[in-house]
Structure 1
Amino acid sequence: MGIKESDIKQDAACTPGLSNFFLKDHPDENKWADCVHCGMCLESCPTYELTSQEQHSPRGRVHLIKSVAEGKITVNEQFMDPVFACLDCRACTTACPAGVDVGGLIEEARGQIRQAIPLTGLKGMVSKFFLKGLFPHQNRLNSLGSILRFYQKSGMQKVVRKTKLIKIMPQHLVDMEAIMPEVNKPVRKKYKNQNVIKSKGKTRNEVSFLTGCVMDVMFSDINEATINVLTRNGNDVIIPNKQTCCGALHVHAGDRETGRKLAKQNIEAFNDSDKVIVNAAGCGYALKEYPELFREDPEWHEKAEKFAAKVEDISKYLYDTGYEKPKTELNTRITYHDACHLAHGQGVRQEPRDILLDIPGVEMVHMPNSDRCCGSAGIYNITNPEMASAVLDSKMENVPEDVDMISMGNPGCMLQMAMGVQKHGRNQKIVHTIQLLDWAYQKEDGKEGL
């Protein structure tokens, strides 16, 4: 059921060109002005590929957003469905000759939808619990991590699986539990008493490290590998205590206000940093987009622009500053998946591939359409499980079968691709690019490595 125009707040219709949008956080007209509906974006869009429906294409979504601004349609459920069905993978912007920022428009439109149609009932409670009650609070996330470690190490996980108690959950959550990585101690707890983690040799640079929220709970081993690689290559590493969740999931969900609060906290936490290193593509792109959140706040917009200029993905940072090339062979066949927010968002494509190719014994196998979305898209695989599963199936058709590992640079992709491997009866190992470099160093030092 849609909402009536009379239900829209009075300030929604105060300016020409924004007749059915709220004034606060309204979509930026400049983002759709260059769209001529040429259709160059259609083949790049996973949801259009699967549905063949115009409203589920990039140009269709741009047209809908523009139509609301022109007063032709209202912010209602019919508008909401295609906007929230978008993966926000940014592939359309890469394909667009004019570089129309469809992803930015989608996020702004989601903010409008949540102002007009707030989540209520069970969905509202779940959203509030995770987005406001859990992700912004590292202590609560650490407690969750402790529970998960107990679940895995106490034998409870084996009992739950063996007795099939797990089947009481929805199937997509059962699939996610089946590929849940081993949960270890977060690096922020491990290094909480160290102001600086010193380089292992001559210090060349000092960098700050965003450990992430879920990243440090579910993938602390990748954070540990990142610290090992940075310190081995002459970097002193600082982990600011006051850093918090990047806010990507909040912005994707339309909660731009919480996204701004988290952005302000991170901007202040890294105020004295010259370089902010990130090993999660989605987080890195969210940090780089902070200026967009403060488009209407000149003071914080300037601060956000200065902060965004400091942010760099770990693979690009290593490539640009130089790194020690391993000398010991790993002897493995690898293919590489381009995380959307690394390739389309940050333009980082060749750097991680070059790092992998610099590891002796690594044979790279080309993946067709390697920059096609895997369906993870933040929490899209939870909120839109059927579409996410279909996108994943399409992705897996392009993954070479004759490889030992699939490498990538984003934790969400790692979980989604692990589900794909399991679903399609494969046996490839899912790895982060920096893990492989760290394993090569470890093997060179006589440690276990792989």
Structure 2
Amino acid sequence: MEPRIDADLVSDCVHCGFCLPTCPTYVLWGEEMDSPRGRIQLMHQLLEGEPLTPTAAGHFDACLGCMACVTACPSGVRYGTLIEQTRVVVEERHPRPWPERALRGLVFGLFPHPRRLAVLKGPLRLYQRLGAPLLDRLPGRLSTLAALAPPVRPAVPLPARLPALGTRRAVVGMLTGCVQRAFFPDVNAATARVLAAEGCDVVIPPGQGCCGALSVHSGRREEAARFARGIVDTFDAAGIDALVVNAAGCGSSLKELGDLLADDPGYAGRAAALAGKVTDFAELLGRLGPAAPRHPLPASVAYHDACHLAHAQGVRSQPRELLRGIPGLVLREIADPELCCGSAGVWNVLNPGPAAELGARKARDVLATGAQWLVTANPGCLMQIGAGVRAAGGTIRTAHTAQVLDASIRGVRLSAGA
């Protein structure tokens, strides 16, 4: 299908400017064409027949896709849909320089493939043991990747099915993800334990692959569709009431599976049905209500809203309520919570300079809370903010919401590898 931009969605924008202070690139550069309404104006020009210039493609590439503008927009402009449509056009029509093509080939040949990421863990573990002085010797973007990487942890085997503890309240599938599975296996283990403790049979198909989120957010629609079909085949006949996701970007994309595969007659109906079952981890637990007792967890926590959880999925109160339900835990809010940390999938790898600026801003705001822990619901945010804190010379421990709940339910000390 010929890539196209929906003219009706473009016309919804009234250019009021409410989006400007929430847009990370506009905050950084103050450039109109690097704001949502500026990019929508460029989309309008493309619809009018203007050529896609390298400059215009650069403005579209610079968008983090954080969706903060969607939250701020009083006119309900579907900017997320528009930027995804436009990026398909960019990928189709914009010839990138070979170094950029090579970098993108490396990124998309690695990140959506859990087995390849698992192979990478060996060299990365060796690098981390040899120490930080090697960082300056690594070429180009490899130094960026190394700086972002969390400490390599051993794999945590998960059963194909984990039975509910006590009365069964639901049967749920669990997405294990790509980066989450490779670099945060403890988060997946904590997620499964909490779901079981809260009365869920947890179905964890061992052969599941990438959901396609990184690809669809980068305009690689056909690639994303291939990954999405695999997810539909994996979970469609699993007999689940809900598909639980513990990574914000993945959950956002999976909730739009029906749109991605709408033109595929073999998958459209099945994809739409599965999309209707997708729920974030905190969203599901908020709906079920607590069943497992919480033990005291004396800790101060700064909660960071992952963009694709707060802005794209509208899930803000549920994680906070789960954390507030833990005895002894003190929840602290972060200044400018709507501003992206600069992770945005692989945006921080493709744009390391501005990503570091955004990471430094977020790290400063996190450290200003004085909290002992930074808690969020996305692996990219954990890596990006952690790197920003280290670059600032600060220290703060990081955890996923599921790890905090797991520690409280089990009555154990909260640790990064809980």
TM more than 0.5: yes
2:137 aligns with 168
Write the letter of the residue equivalent to 1:229. V
Corresponding residue SS for 1:398: helix
2:105 aligns with 128
1:30 aligns with 8
1:14 aligns with none
1:239 aligns with 204
Structure with higher RCO (Cα < 8 A, 6+ apart): 2
1:435 aligns with 403
1:296 Cα deviation (Å)?
Answer: 4.2
Supply the distance in 2 between the matched residues of 1:291 and 1:217 (Cα, whole angstroms): 27
1:9-408 → structure 2 map (5 Å cutoff): 24-71=2-49, 73-119=50-96, 121-131=98-108, 133-149=109-125, 151=126, 157-161=128-132, 164-169=133-138, 173-174=142-143, 176-178=145-147, 180-187=149-156, 190-191=157-158, 194-272=159-237, 273-297=240-264, 300-324=267-291, 326-399=293-366, 400-408=368-376
Supply the distance in 1 between the matched residues of 2:199 and 2:123 (Cα, whole angstroms): 36
* Cα root mean square deviation, aligned: 2.1
Q: Label 1:426 to 1:362 Cα distance change in 2 as closer, same or farther (>3 A).
A: same
TM-score by length of 1: 0.86
Supply the distance in 1 between the matched residues of 2:170 and 2:372 (Cα, whole angstroms): 35
Write the letter of the residue equivalent to 2:399. V
Supply the distance in 2 between the matched residues of 1:97 and 1:136 (Cα, whole angstroms): 35
CA contact (8 A) 1:441 1:449 kept: no
CA contact (8 A) 2:23 2:35 kept: yes
Q: Looking at CA atoms only, which structure, 1 or 2, has the larger radius of gyration? A: 1
Corresponding residue SS for 1:396: helix
Q: Percent identity?
A: 39
TM-score by length of 2: 0.92
CA contact (8 A) 2:57 2:94 kept: no
Supply the distance in 2 between the matched residues of 1:54 and 1:265 (Cα, whole angstroms): 40
Supply the distance in 2 between the matched residues of 1:418 and 1:143 (Cα, whole angstroms): 23
Supply the distance in 2 between the matched residues of 1:291 and 1:29 (Cα, whole angstroms): 21
Q: How many residues align?
A: 412
CA-to-aligned-CA distance 1:367-426 (integer Å, 9 cap, x gap): 222232101001111111111122223323432342111111111000111012112222
1:260 Cα deviation (Å)?
Answer: 0.7
1:284 Cα deviation (Å)?
Answer: 0.5
1:344 Cα deviation (Å)?
Answer: 0.3
Deviating more after overlay: 295-304 vs 82-91? 295-304
Supply the distance in 2 between the matched residues of 1:147 and 1:396 (Cα, whole angstroms): 28
1:291 Cα deviation (Å)?
Answer: 2.7
1:122 Cα deviation (Å)?
Answer: 3.5
Which ranges of structure 1 fall in alignment gaps of 5 or more residues? Answer: 1-22
1:221 Cα deviation (Å)?
Answer: 0.6
Supply the distance in 2 between the matched residues of 1:449 and 1:91 (Cα, whole angstroms): 31
Write the letter of the residue equivalent to 1:387. P
CA contact (8 A) 1:241 1:269 kept: no
Write the letter of the residue equivalent to 1:422. R
CA-to-aligned-CA distance 1:328-350 (integer Å, 9 cap, x gap): 22211111110000000100000
